[in-house]
């Protein structure tokens, strides 16, 4: 068991709404800043595997829409909010640690 | 020469479900002329010794409405023995249309069926208005036979314009829609389709138009088919619910037309749902009405290694591990306490899409030669062979191979017993290929070749004769396709000639054959030797001949009108 904090960006590096792609253990992740909070999530839409770097759009609050089929996800939980009950988005906890934004991975 | 084409010495699987037999098949003027021991010669002869000769397969659930306009073969349908396709499913068709609503229809196709917009914009010329005009457009330009359903979405936009995605229809608008449905049926439609799936939206996030229709509207449109005693009614209501069956029963009883509903397939996460669905539909048939469930033959398979794995993202510890650097991940996999957490998540009672079973995932490929003995074994079998607990066997084998062991998993459609019962059910119509849709995501042209390869040959859940019946005469009967789906004198000479010992589908692959440079996925087959449409060979051992013998398959109202004229 353990915990890892993996730095993915520096504080101030991300403009609001910009999605930065990072590689975590061979998987593609997007990191973004929305209303002062950082979020990290899988680059691949869980519906039909669209690339959220190009098809993803941040809407009001913490809502992410995949413009491929208009599926919407809550970036805090990954829950599919439109349509309800759709496949969840894989999300990871992102937090500020000193000068860096880190993904916290616990196991 | 007496005949145009003679197929010698094949095993005739005639589509009826009756036992197959060895015979010659002679073709004249596009029709089957004679079956048996044939003495006369022909202009062209095919030696079918050792091969099966069956009616061409009928893919009744496609979204080839656009693709057929630029691709007369609906590639890769003929590569899998398919000779006839039905378009216009799930409420979506490209007709009827009037000036100004074309883009509303495109918006629906782009999102619901995931067809690239640029391909539709370049490939669809809109040189039609009515459904009959749309079908006319295909005359003389087809490699395979094509029929279609008129889609509720196009009909609603035609009657209501953009307000079709905003509100309920007025009585006058419903009457207008009824007129459009009748006109489409008289123009040759094989039925109508509608869509109430709450996941189906347009490109702009608005619900597709048919979702705004209440029962009064929808039943009024379906009544057109009932009044004229013609056509099927194809539906998609969204997530399967048992209460839907009351609705299917009401619609089937009211119209006395075949109702098609989507869909049923075994899912490990809901392992009894398919049984509940079959139990729910049986009373409809027992009462004398028809409500066929559509079922897919292709298991939803994922191949993965523990180096790159999304299969376990529903489980927090597993998910976090899969994002760790590989060397850290390997240390974690070796840690006993971490394994305890991983196991606790996999054995919790929380509902997940992953089946949480050890007897389903299999070892597909190993990295080290000494582990070859594990290939094809389930993780439960692997555990027994290694005298370990399943999780330990799974992780230890992966660690020994530097996480390069490839595993196979299927959450849907993997259970042979359940799939056998589903596929054999007389209430189930096999096939939801969605050909022409979701083109960047996958390709299931091979649902028929997979039925014959996986479910008949490998898993033996049904006979070859039963499977061919399900691919041919069963859909032909339900859709009212005249003189197709059987090998009988007088029937259209649509045929698939294949090797039952090798027939199967390949994994989908990328191609660049869509308009405007759009990429898409295609699928090749194995063991399919010839595809013949109306007596002409279009697929000669994998080589497309360039012939265009396909016909427009028009429905009964069109045929009646033509006969009367």
Mutate to test the interface with A, among B200, B313, B441, B508 (most CBs of A within 10 A): B313
User: In the prediction, which pLDDT does B124 show?
Assistant: 97
Helix axes of B152-160 and B102-112: crossing angle, nearest 10 degrees: 150
User: In the prediction, which pLDDT does A69 show?
Assistant: 75
Does residue B302 carry a pLDDT above 90?
Answer: no
Query: For A10-14, A64-68, B297-301, B364-368, which range has the lowest pLDDT when averaged over its residues?
Result: B297-301
CB of B205 less than 8 A from some CB of A = yes
Question: What does the pLDDT look like over B27-48, one tens digit per residue?
Answer: 999 999 999 999 999 999 999 9
Quick one: closest CA in A to B331, which residue? A1
CB of B302 less than 8 A from some CB of A = no
| Backbone φ, ψ for residue B299 (5° rounding) | -65, 145
User: In the prediction, which pLDDT does B394 show?
Assistant: 98
Instruction: Compute the distance between CA of residue B508 and CA of residue B239 in angstroms, rounded to an integer.
Output: 26
User: In the prediction, which pLDDT does B565 show?
Assistant: 85
Closest-CA distance, B324 to chain A, in angstroms, reads 5
User: In the prediction, which pLDDT does B334 show?
Assistant: 97
Residues in A touching B321 (Cβ below 8 Å): 105, 107
pLDDT tier, A68 (very low <50, low <70, confident <90, very high otherwise): confident
Does residue A73 carry a pLDDT above 80?
Answer: yes
User: In the prediction, which pLDDT does B401 show?
Assistant: 97
Residues in chain A: 107
Q: Name the A residues in 44-63 with CB < 8 Å from any B CB.
A: 44, 48-49
User: In the prediction, which pLDDT does A49 show?
Assistant: 79
User: In the prediction, which pLDDT does B180 show?
Assistant: 98
Which of B10, B18, B14 shows the shortest CA–CA distance to B54? B14
Residues in B touching A49 (Cβ below 8 Å): 441
Share of chain B above pLDDT 70, in %: 100
pLDDT mean across residues, chain B: 95
Quick one: closest CA in B to A48, which residue? B441
Q: What is the mean pLDDT of residues A18-27?
A: 92
Q: What is the mean pLDDT of residues B526-551?
A: 97
pLDDT tier, B519 (very low <50, low <70, confident <90, very high otherwise): confident
For chain A, report the end-to-end CA distance as a whole number of angstroms: 5
Instruction: Check CB contact under 8 Å for A25 and B324.
Output: yes
Question: What does the pLDDT look like over B426-473, one tens digit per residue?
Answer: 999 999 899 999 887 788 999 999 999 999 999 999 999 999 999 999
Which of B194, B190, B261, B193 shows the shortest CA–CA distance to B228? B190
Q: What is the mean pLDDT of residues A17-41?
A: 93
Q: What is the mean pLDDT of residues B208-214?
A: 97
Helices (H), B311-350: 316-322, 326-334, 336-347
CB B298 within 8 A of CB B444: yes
CB of A83 less than 8 A from some CB of B = yes
Does residue B140 carry a pLDDT above 90?
Answer: yes
Higher pLDDT, A85 or B92: B92
Share of chain B above pLDDT 90, in %: 84
Closest-CA distance, A83 to chain B, in angstroms, reads 5
Q: 3-class SS at A71?
A: strand
User: In the prediction, which pLDDT does A50 show?
Assistant: 82
Both tokens of A53, joined, read 């770097």
Helices (H), B459-536: 464-471, 473-479
User: In the prediction, which pLDDT does B289 show?
Assistant: 98
Instruction: Check CB contact under 8 Å for B199 and A107.
Output: no
**Sequence-separated (6 or more) residues with CB below 8 Å from residue B247:** B237
Name the burial class of residue B335, with classes exposed (0-12), middle (13-18) and buried (19+) by CB atoms within 10 angstroms of its CB.
middle
Q: What is the mean pLDDT of residues B372-386?
A: 97
Q: DSSP letter at A18?
A: -
For chain B, report the end-to-end CA distance as a whole number of angstroms: 36
Q: What is the mean pLDDT of residues A26-34?
A: 93
User: In the prediction, which pLDDT does B190 show?
Assistant: 98
CB A84 within 8 A of CB A47: no
Confidence (pTM): 0.86
Query: For A13-17, B61-65, B499-503, which range has the lowest pLDDT when averaged over its residues?
Result: A13-17
Both tokens of B364, joined, read 């597909």
């Amino acid at each position: 068991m353990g915990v890892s904090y993996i730095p993915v960006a520096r504080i101030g590096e991300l403009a609001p709404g910009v999605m930065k792609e990072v590689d975590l253990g061979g998987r593609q992740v997007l990191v973004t800043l929305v209303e002062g909070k950082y979020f990290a999530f899988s680059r691949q839409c869980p519906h039909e595997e669209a690339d959220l770097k190009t098809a993803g759009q941040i809407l009001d609050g913490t809502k992410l829409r995949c413009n491929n089929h208009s599926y919407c996800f809550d970036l805090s939980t990954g829950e599919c909010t439109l349509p309800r009950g759709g496949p969840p988005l894989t999300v990871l906890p992102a937090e500020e640690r000193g000068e860096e934004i880190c993904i916290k991975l616990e196991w | 020469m007496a005949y145009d084409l003679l197929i010698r010495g094949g095993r005739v699987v005639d589509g009826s479900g009756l036992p197959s037999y060895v015979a010659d098949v002679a073709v004249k003027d596009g029709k089957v002329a004679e079956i048996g021991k044939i003495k006369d010669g022909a202009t062209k002869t095919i030696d079918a010794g050792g091969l099966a000769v069956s009616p061409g397969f009928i893919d009744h659930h496609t979204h080839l409405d656009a693709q057929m306009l630029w691709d007369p073969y609906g590639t890769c349908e003929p590569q899998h023995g398919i000779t006839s396709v039905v378009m216009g499913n799930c409420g979506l068709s490209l007709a009827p249309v009037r000036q100004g609503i074309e883009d509303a229809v495109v918006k629906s196709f782009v999102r619901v069926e995931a067809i690239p917009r640029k391909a539709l914009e370049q490939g669809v010329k809109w040189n039609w208005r009515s459904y009959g005009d749309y079908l006319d457009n295909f005359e003389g330009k087809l490699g395979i036979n094509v029929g279609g359903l008129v889609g509720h979405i196009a009909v609603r936009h035609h009657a209501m314009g953009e307000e079709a995605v905003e509100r309920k229809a007025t009585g006058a608008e419903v009457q207008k829609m009824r007129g459009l449905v009748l006109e489409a049926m008289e123009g040759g439609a094989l039925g109508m389709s509608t869509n109430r799936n709450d996941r189906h939206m347009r490109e702009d996030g608005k619900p597709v138009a048919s979702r705004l229709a209440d029962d009064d509207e929808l039943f009024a449109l379906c009544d057109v088919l009932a009044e004229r005693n013609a056509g099927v009614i194809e539906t998609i209501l969204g997530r399967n619910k048992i209460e839907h069956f009351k609705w299917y029963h009401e619609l089937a009883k009211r119209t006395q037309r075949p109702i098609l509903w989507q869909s049923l397939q075994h899912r490990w996460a809901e392992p009894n749902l398919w049984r509940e669905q079959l139990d729910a539909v049986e009373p409809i048939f027992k009462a004398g009405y028809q409500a066929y469930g559509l079922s897919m033959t292709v298991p939803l398979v994922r191949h993965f290694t523990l180096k790159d794995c999304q299969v376990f993202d529903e489980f927090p510890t597993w998910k976090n591990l899969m994002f760790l650097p590989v060397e850290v991940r390997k240390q974690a996999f070796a840690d006993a306490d971490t394994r305890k957490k991983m196991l606790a998540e996999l054995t919790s009672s929380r509902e997940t899409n992953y089946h949480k079973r050890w007897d389903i995932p299999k070892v597909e490929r190993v990295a080290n030669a000494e582990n070859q003995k594990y290939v094809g074994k389930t993780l439960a079998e692997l555990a027994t062979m290694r005298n370990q607990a399943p999780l330990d066997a799974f992780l230890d084998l992966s660690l020994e191979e530097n996480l390069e062991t490839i595993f196979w998993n299927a959450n849907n459609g993997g259970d042979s017993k359940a799939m056998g019962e589903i596929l054999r059910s007389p209430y189930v119509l096999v096939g939801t290929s969605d050909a022409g849709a979701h083109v960047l995501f996958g390709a299931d042209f091979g649902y028929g070749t997979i039925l014959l390869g996986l479910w008949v040959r490998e898993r033996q859940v049904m006979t070859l004769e039963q499977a061919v019946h399900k691919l041919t005469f069963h859909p032909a009967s339900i859709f009212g396709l005249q003189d197709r789906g059987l090998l009988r004198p007088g029937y259209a000479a649509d045929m698939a000639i294949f090797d039952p010992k090798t027939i199967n589908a390949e994994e989908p692959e990328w191609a660049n054959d869509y308009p405007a440079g759009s990429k898409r996925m295609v699928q090749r087959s194995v063991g399919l030797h010839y595809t013949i449409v109306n007596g002409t060979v279009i697929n000669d051992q994998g080589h497309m001949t360039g012939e265009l013998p396909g016909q427009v398959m028009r429905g009964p109202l069109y045929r009646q009108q033509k006969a009367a004229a």
